[in-house]
Amino acid sequence: MLQNITILNLAVVDSLDLNLDAGLSVLTGETGAGKSILLTAIGLALGERADAAYIRPNCPRAEINLTFDLSDTPAAQAWLEDNEFDNNEKQCLIRRTLRQDGKSKAYINGRPATLQSLKLLSSQLIEIHGQHAHLTLLDSTEQSRFIDDFAKNSDLLDDINQVYLQWRADSHELTALIKSSTEQSNQEDLFTYQLNELHELDLENYDYDELIAEHTKLANLEEILNCGQKQLDLLSDNEQLSANQIINQSISAISDLTPLTKGLEEPNSLLIEAQIQINEATQQLRHFLESQELDPQRLQALDEQIGIIQNLSRKHHVSPEELPDVAAQLKQNLNNLSHSIERIDSLEIQVQQQSQQYFSLAKELTIIRTKAAKKLSQLISEMIKELGMPQGEFSISIEPRPIEQPKINGVDKIEFLVSANKGLPLRPLAKVASGGELSRISLAIQVTTCRDTSAATMIFDEVDSGIGGGIAEIVGQKLRTLGSNTQVLCVTHLPQVATQAHQHLFVYKDNSDEMTTSNVRSLSTDQRIEETARMLGGVNITSSTLAHAKEMLMLGMEQ
C-alpha cells in the first residue's frame, strides 16, 4: 500500500508530506483547491511523461517521493528482486525529479530507473480509475480489456498474439516472395545467359594483365626482333666493330702494360668483368630472339578476346579485373532464386501450421471469455440494481467472428449490452444508457472487477460524478467495503461518499504568501463534521446542517 507522498515545488504545491492509512481515504475540498495535483504527482512518480510546466515558478526543479509497503504485494517484491532493485524490509521508495530544461530522473530504492521500469512496477502497485472511465467504457477495446482482466487471460493472450505476430511476419514474407516469383523465370534466364558469357572467358585461369602483356608483345614482335638482331651485331656478331671485339683489344693492350705499373690492374679486371657480362647478355638476347615467332593468328585471337572482355566490363559497369567477381555474384543470385522457391514451400507450411495453432488458441480464448462474461454479467447486474437501476440488466456478448485470417487478441466481437428498464431488450451500452446511467454502470463495472485486482492501492478520481442521494451512499459503502481488503484513495465531491471513509484528507489553498499554495491535512472527527456540512450546505452552514453531517458521519463510521 501507499504509505507516504512527499512533493516539492510541483505546480501549486510548495512542500507536502502526507501519510496515508489503510482502508478508504477520501480527498475533498473546494473546486480548484488542487485535489488533482496529488493524482498528477502520483502519475509522474510512476512513469507518466513529465513537463517543465509542472515545476513551481522560480524553482529549479520539482521532486516527488512515494513510499510503498510491499507486505501484501508479493508480485511487486518479486519484480524488484528479478530486476535487481534492493527490497529492504519489504518497502519500495520511488523518486522522480523534474528539471527546468525538461529532463527528468527516476529512482527505485535509490537506484536509477527508466520510465519503462517505473510503469512496469506501477502496474503491480496501483490501479487508477479516472473520472472519464464511463466514456472509455464505450470503446470496444476497453470492453475487451475488462473481460480479459476479469478472466485473467493475460498468459493466453500473450500466446495467441505471439502466434499472430509470427503468422503476420511469415505471411508478409510469403506474399512478397510469391509476387516476385512471377519475375523469377525471366531473372533466372538473364542471370544464366550472363554467367555463360563470362564462363567463356575461362575465368578459372583468367588474368587480364597477362593477356594485355602477351598482346602487347605480339603486336610489337617484328620491331622487337629487328632491334634485337641489330644489338647482337653491335655486341658480338660484327668482328670489327662489336663491343666484344673492342673490349677484347683493350684488355690485350692493358694486360701488356700491367707489369709496368700496378695502377692498371684494377681497370683491366673491370674490363674483363665487362666482357663476361656482355657475353652473357649476348647469349640471353640470342636465346630470346631465336625463341620468338610471329603468330598473326594468336594476335588476332587476343584482339578478339580482349574486345569481348572490354565489352563485358562496360556491360556490367566494372573494370576488366572485376569480371570474376561479377560471375560469383551472378552465381549467388541464381542460388538465391533457387532457395526462394524452397523458402516459399517452407513458408506455406509454416503459415498453415501457425494459422491452425492460432484458431485453436482462439477457440480456447472464446470459451474462457464466454464463461467469464456470464459470471461478470451477473455480478454487474446485481451491482447496478443496488446503484439505483432496479430493473437494469447487464450482459456481455461474446460472439466469434467468422474470419479466415488471424487477428490481434482473438476472433471475438465483445460488446457490453444493457437494458435499463423492465421489458426492454438488451442493446449496446452506447445506444441505451443516459449519462447518469452510464456513470453508475461504469462504477459498477469498476468496483466489481476490482475484487480480483492484484494492486494493493486503488485510486478513484471522481468516478462518482453524475450520482447523488441514496445511490451515492451505496457507492460510499461499496468503496468502504473494497477498502477492507485494498487501500482505496478516492477524490469526491459527495458527502455520502466522504462519510464512509476511514481517513478524510482535506485539500485547501493558502493565499497568505505572495504565491498561492495548496496543502493537504488529515481531518479529525470534528473537522470531518464541518467539512461534511460544507459539502452538504455550501457557504452558510446551519446547526441543522452540522447535525445532519454528524449523523451521516457516525452512520458511515459504524459500517
Could you give the number of structural domains in the chain?
A: 2
Please indicate, yes or no, whether residues 194 and 122 belong to a single structural domain of this protein: no
Structural element, H or E, at residue 133: helix 133-136
Q: What is the CATH number of the domain that holds 33?
A: 3.40.50.300
Q: According to DSSP H, which parts of 450-542 are helical?
A: 469-483, 495-498, 525-537
Whether 125 and 215 share a structural domain: no
Alpha carbons within 13 angstroms on the beta-carbon side of residue 370 total 11
Is 134 within 8 Å of 464 (Cβ atoms)?
no
Beta carbons of 386 and 440 less than 8 angstroms apart: no
Going residue by residue through the chain, which has 559 residues, state the pLDDT in tens, using 9 for 90 and above.
899 999 999 888 888 899 999 999 999 888 776 777 888 888 888 888 888 888 888 888 999 999 998 888 887 888 888 888 876 667 889 999 999 888 889 999 988 999 888 888 887 888 777 655 555 567 788 788 889 988 989 899 999 999 999 999 999 988 888 777 666 666 766 777 777 777 777 766 677 788 888 788 888 888 888 888 888 888 877 776 778 888 888 888 888 888 888 888 888 888 888 888 888 888 888 888 878 888 788 888 788 778 888 888 888 888 888 888 887 887 777 776 666 777 888 899 999 999 999 999 999 999 999 999 999 999 989 888 888 788 888 999 999 998 889 999 999 999 999 887 777 888 887 776 566 677 677 778 777 777 656 677 888 877 666 677 788 888 888 888 888 888 889 888 889 989 999 999 998 887 766 777 888 889 999 999 999 898 887 667 888 888 888 888 888 777 6
Tell me which H or E stretch contains 91.
strand 91-99
- Is residue 234 assigned to a domain? yes
Whether residue 99 sits in one domain with residue 225: no
pTM of whole model > 0.85?
Answer: no
Crossing angle for the helix pair 323-386 and 296-315, to the nearest 10 degrees: 20
Virtual torsion, Cα 408, 412, 414, 419, nearest 10 deg: 170
Phi, psi angles (nearest 5°) of residue 138: -80, -15
Residue found by looking up cell 487477428 in the block: 407
**Strand pairing partners for 64?**
7, 96
For residue 276, give its domain range. Answer: 186-335
Same domain, residue pair 194 and 95: no
CA angle at residue 65 from 64 to 71, to 5 degrees?
150
Say if 225 falls within a structural domain.
Answer: yes
Question: If you count them, how many residues does the chain have?
Answer: 559
- One domain, residues 201 and 95: no
Q: Both 126 and 194 in a single domain?
A: no
**Cα 345 from Cα 490, distance rounded (Å):** 59
Indicate whether 196 and 326 sit together in one domain.
yes
Say yes or no: 105 and 25 in one domain. Answer: yes
Quick one: pLDDT at residue 410? 93
Same-domain pairing of 7 and 110: yes
The residues that bridge with 415 in the sheet, in sequence order, are: 397
Domain-embedded: residue 445:
no
- Whether residue 33 is contained in a domain is answered as yes
113 and 230, same domain (yes or no): no
